[in-house]
Amino acid sequence: MTKPIGSQLKRIYWHSALLIALLVPHAALANTWQLLVGAQAYDRANQALGFLPNEIWIHAGDSIRWTFPTQERHTLTFLTPGQVRPPLFGAIWGVEVGCPGTTPDGSDYDGSTCVHSGILLAAPDPPTYSVHFPSAGNFKFVCLAHADMTGVVHVMELAESLPHDQDFYDRQGQAEQALLRGDAARLNSRGTYAGGMAAGLGEIVTTTGAGSQTASLMRFGRGRIVVGVGDTVEWTSLDPSINHTVTFGTEPADPRPPSANVLGTSDGAREAVIGSPTDSVNSGFLSPAPQDRAKLPQSPPGVTRFRVTFTSPGTFNYICAVHDQLGMKGTVIVHREVAGNESAVSLVLSRRHLPGWPRLSDVRSRSQARSESSPATSNNIPGRPNYAGPAQTEIFSH
């Protein structure tokens, strides 16, 4: 007896469906996840230097596409296990070392060879970069531009269930960028309290436990100050892992080393004298020493302070040569006389107010004549003599 035509069609349908399931590779069914690299405030000052989020679970065969929405430089880099981390740039500033070199968008990563996006930033549209993960494993990724910006991808076998979906990571990324940008915004009050002439402020945080992120305020503590001829202004980097500079005049081709007219001091700072608004002076990188690691040589102290003495009146504009594209700029206005001819005063700025350290109103005299003719209330600090009392120099904050 002939079977009904409907039953025959049903059998053909299911056989065809099974054949398609066997023939179609998993890649056609794989997911592409979406994540962010960094976030910033509208004025680019408050930077969330982190992968958002920096931990994700995916299946083998899936890909992740990262979007770079900020004007700050970032990379997306997967090194091989045990590989020595390369610097961002080699002997020539702006020429990347990579891992080595860069790899194409959509490259595979399974731990056997490195993957490196190269430097990406919004200009103005945000670029993207994707990585495909063909096999299971736990893989660390980093940004070569920022030491404390890391994350982990957990690649699971197909038979294992994933703990979260894309909507979860979207919400987590939004919450983390709000947290980091908020932290960066609050750093402004710390910089002002510390004396007002911070050269960048930051703090390292972790929001998932899988890696580190940095909240960074890409600004000088005071955008404009007014001092007198003969005064010395000091900048201090209060960022634990980000390099900054104080650069007057022509921006150097390589901002990492100090310019030839910058000298080292006995207390580990750097100093220079500027006599004209047309002078060019570059502090070189101001940054603390990296954290020491077991079984590695101890690193030397970092250079975080830079002092400039102004010997003539004028308006002196300066930038951070690494982050001027983010608006990290400032101005020193030098007058012939400030506040009752008390011009031979050195501003001591950007100090944390710890026991024994001066507040903003405290200044350090660099004029022996002034200290002899007009002694100030003593506020000396062990190992750092000649701090005077209330400052006579006018300071404006914007």
Nearest to 80 by CA among 117, 51, 37, 109: 109
Residue 277 lies in a domain: yes
Residue 138 lies in a domain: yes
Do 124 and 240 lie in a common domain? no
- Single-letter code of the amino acid located at 307: R
Do 275 and 126 lie in a common domain? no
Do 180 and 227 lie in a common domain? no
- Single-letter code of the amino acid located at 140: K
Mean pLDDT of the chain: 82
The domain that holds 67 is classified in CATH as 2.60.40.420
Do 162 and 306 lie in a common domain? no
CA–CA distance, 14 with 279 (Å, rounded to integer): 81
- Label residue 82 exposed, middle or buried (CB < 10 Å: 0-12, 13-18, 19+): exposed
**pLDDT at res. 245:** 98
Do 249 and 385 lie in a common domain? yes
CA–CA distance, 179 with 173 (Å, rounded to integer): 10
**pLDDT at res. 291:** 83
CA–CA distance, 242 with 304 (Å, rounded to integer): 11
135 token code pair: 């096999």
DSSP 8-state assignment for residue 245 = -
- Single-letter code of the amino acid located at 34: Q
Q: Are the beta carbons of 327 and 47 closer than 8 angstroms?
A: no
128 token code pair: 């993207």
How does residue 91 score in pLDDT terms, banded at 50, 70 and 90?
very high
Range of the domain at 93: 26-184
CA–CA distance, 133 with 110 (Å, rounded to integer): 6
Q: Are the beta carbons of 334 and 229 closer than 8 angstroms?
A: yes
pLDDT exceeds cutoff 70 at 203: yes
pLDDT exceeds cutoff 70 at 364: no
Do 309 and 166 lie in a common domain? no
Of these ranges, 206-210, 251-255, 349-353, the one predicted with the greatest mean pLDDT is 251-255
**pLDDT at res. 8:** 57
**pLDDT at res. 13:** 47
**The dihedral sign for the CA sequence 191, 195, 196, 200:** negative
- Label residue 390 exposed, middle or buried (CB < 10 Å: 0-12, 13-18, 19+): exposed
Mean pLDDT of 293-304: 90
Q: Is the pTM of this model over 0.85?
A: no
287 token code pair: 């940054």
Per the structure, the count of domains in the chain is 2
Torsion of CA 107, 109, 112, 117, to 10 degrees: 60
Region label for 346, one of left (φ > 0), alpha (ψ between -120 and 50) or beta (otherwise): beta
| pLDDT (tens digit per residue) in 224-234 | 999 999 999 99
Length of the chain measured in residues:
398
Mean pLDDT of 317-332: 97
Q: Which of 126, 157, 184 marks a domain boundary? A: 184
Q: Are the beta carbons of 356 and 381 closer than 8 angstroms?
A: yes
- Single-letter code of the amino acid located at 26: H
146 token code pair: 């920022």
Q: Are the beta carbons of 254 and 90 closer than 8 angstroms?
A: no
For 281, half-sphere exposure in the C-beta direction (CA atoms, 13 angstrom radius) is 24
Do 172 and 253 lie in a common domain? no
| pLDDT (tens digit per residue) in 181-192 | 999 999 887 765
Residue 17 lies in a domain: no
286 token code pair: 């101001």
Residue given tokens 């003593």 in the structure block: 378
Q: Which of 134, 162, 184 marks a domain boundary? A: 184
pLDDT exceeds cutoff 50 at 342: no
